[in-house]
Chain A
Amino acid sequence: MRRAFLKRVAEMIRNEADTTFFTVDIGMWAIRDVLKEFPDRCTNVGIYEDGMFSIAAGMARRGLVPTIFGIQPYLVERTLEQIKMDLAYQKLGVNVIGTGAAVDYPKYGYSHYCAEDLHVIKAIPGCEFIAPGSAKQFIQLFNQTYRNGHPTFFRVSDHPNQNNDPDVEFGKAVVMQKGSKATVIAVSIMLDAVMEVCKGKDVTVLYYTTLEPFDRETLGQYYNNGKILVVEPEFEGSLTFDITKSFEGKPVQIESVAFPREIFRNYGTYEEKMQYYGLTKENIEKKLEVLIRV
């Protein structure tokens, strides 16, 4: 996904004179040619996230289309006031691409983990949050949004889906299958695991890659007695507000497979973390069974 993104950036800088790209000292090798050829619009700014957001906002104020690339926790947490003041409050469009989704840097400790990103961004109205499940989907969603004049955050994962890669549209859920016993919300890279569990079962599966704004309309059509299982690679409950709003007035029973809201103090591998925190097929299967039974 990261490679696809950087290739798209190089193409954008080459062909679109009003676009700018700033990396906070990562991914340079992949775009070394455009860094050299277009130093005014394509810059490695160094380790400089917060001020970079304000600078990018200033460039957007002058009609340019800035894109920033960095590591997720520094992009969405260090910069929170810049997101609020410079982007959202002033309604200025900047694209923010973050690598290091959730626990993609599994050996670096809590400084590099960022399961809370969606929750943080959802706290600032007017921001968009996109979590593609594949390189193809990243390109589709980036192309649909990068000029829309809004602050848009892309969560780039190193662990894309391998078996399921539907076309996606910004702001819309994909109905993967329809059923009547429950509705399963599969978020981003969790689609493969969800489909493996749900295939052949009488449940609806909705696939979400745009998490803000959340497609409440589609979810609202699949009430299924209010039984909702959300499978999300973020902090548990990041989508609860949207889910309850989708069924306003009706009771819902929400089960979730997600990262717990705690400080992760472990290391190891990505797979070990997903296993430890229960973002697994087995746990999805178990939660779904309970949800349907109770």
Chain B
Amino acid sequence: MELISKILRKNALYLSHKCQDGNLQSVFSCLDVVWVLYDKIMNWSPELAQDADRDFFIISKGQATLALYPVLIEKGYFSMDEIAPQIGKFDSRYCIQTDLTKFEGGIENNAGSLGHGLPFAVGIANANKIKKSPSSVYVLCGDGEFCEGTMWESLIFASAKKLDNLTVIIDDNNSVGAMVDMGDMKAKLSAFNFDVIEVDGHDMKALEKTFKELKTLKNGKPKAVIAKTIRGYGSKTMIENDIWFHKSPNAEELDMLSKEVELA
């Protein structure tokens, strides 16, 4: 695992420990995707956080919101010294889910309830078209989230409005393995007239190449990336024990899991 992947995961573990809450399996499955977007793909930097034409990152799978802070810390927008003592506290602006009304930039939406972020992102992408803004929109969804009807409804709208400034990323960590069989997602998304690419969601080079390739396609078709990921990736314990879907580490576990990440 690349050094940055280890740093991001260790910081996520630390924040979950400080907050005493979190969905770490889900955070670990998408961290590499979120990092590549912020580091290599999006027109975004701390200086551009309120720029009218910045790219937008919308988190639809709200249970992985904790992935945002480590990424924005590494990008220099937030600092660990500010977040760690505050996260989860009564009056804090930092917690397991975000509240954009407490921020001026950096946080683009409120997540938590599933099936909202994707249509919200579609609205932003549609507004970008109306405003003739070069801003692109990236939205991170869960594979299980596609059980929600609003997901499919918004795909119809995105396709009808030819939103080629929209990229839907599915963090395909096999959640639906435990739910209903969703069938062939690639075929389904293609049938909705999306350009679809499947990629290893932990291979940063492959992710970068995929996003860059899709960015060049100004063909009136919205984009979808099915990122094949592993829940808890980077920690053997977390991969093997589903209790880590919703569990935060105590001091001892923090130490043990951080060591696992270090050696991954």
**A interface residues, Cβ below 8 angstroms from B:** 20, 40-41, 45, 48, 50-52, 54-64, 81-82, 85-86, 89-91
Contacts and interface: CB of A to CB of B under 8 A. Distances in A.
Given A40-B129, A51-B149, A55-B157, 5 more contacts: A54-B120, A61-B109, A62-B123, A63-B131, A90-B110
B8 interface: no
B124 interface: yes
A85 B123 CA distance: 15
Interface string B106-150: 001110110010111111111111110100000000000000011
11 contacts: A48-B156, A50-B149, A51-B149, A51-B153, A52-B119, A54-B118, A54-B123, A58-B125, A61-B124, A61-B127, A91-B101
Interface string B148-180: 011001101100000000000000000000000
A55 B123 contact: yes
B99 interface: yes
Contacts of B130: 20, 40-41, 59, 64
Interface residues of B, number: 30
B157 A61 contact: no
B130 to A, nearest CB: 5
A50 B116 CA distance: 9
B264 interface: no
B100 interface: yes
Secondary structure at the B interface, as helix, strand, loop or mixed, is helix
Contacts of A63: 127, 131
A237 to B, nearest CB: 29
A58 B120 CA distance: 4
Contacts, number: 85
B122 A58 contact: yes
Contacts of A45: 157
B157 A51 contact: yes
B124 A59 contact: yes
A151 to B, nearest CB: 14
Contact of A50 (B100, B131, B133, B153): B153
B120 A86 contact: yes
Contacts of B100: 90
B33 to A, nearest CB: 21
Nearest to A84: B113
Contact of B123 (A48, A56, A89): A56
Contacts of A91: 101
Of residues A60, A63, A89, which shows the largest number of chain B Cβ atoms within 10 Å of its Cβ? A89
A86 B131 contact: no
Contact of A55 (B101, B110, B112, B119): B119
Contact of A89 (B110, B124, B154, B156): B110
Contact of B116 (A41, A59, A86): A86
B110 A59 contact: no
Contact of A62 (B119, B131, B156): B131
Contacts of A85: 110, 112-113, 116
A57 B123 contact: yes
Nearest to B58: A58
A90 B119 CA distance: 14
Nearest to A89: B110
Interface string B210-233: 000000000000000000000000
Interface in B172-220: none
A62 B53 CA distance: 10
Of residues B120, B121, B157, which shows the largest number of chain A Cβ atoms within 10 Å of its Cβ? B120
Nearest to B60: A54
A85 B127 CA distance: 19
Contacts of B156: 48
Contacts of B112: 85
Given A54-B116, A85-B113, A90-B100, A61 B123 contact: yes
A41 B150 CA distance: 21
A54 to B, nearest CB: 3
B113 A61 contact: no
A282 to B, nearest CB: 46
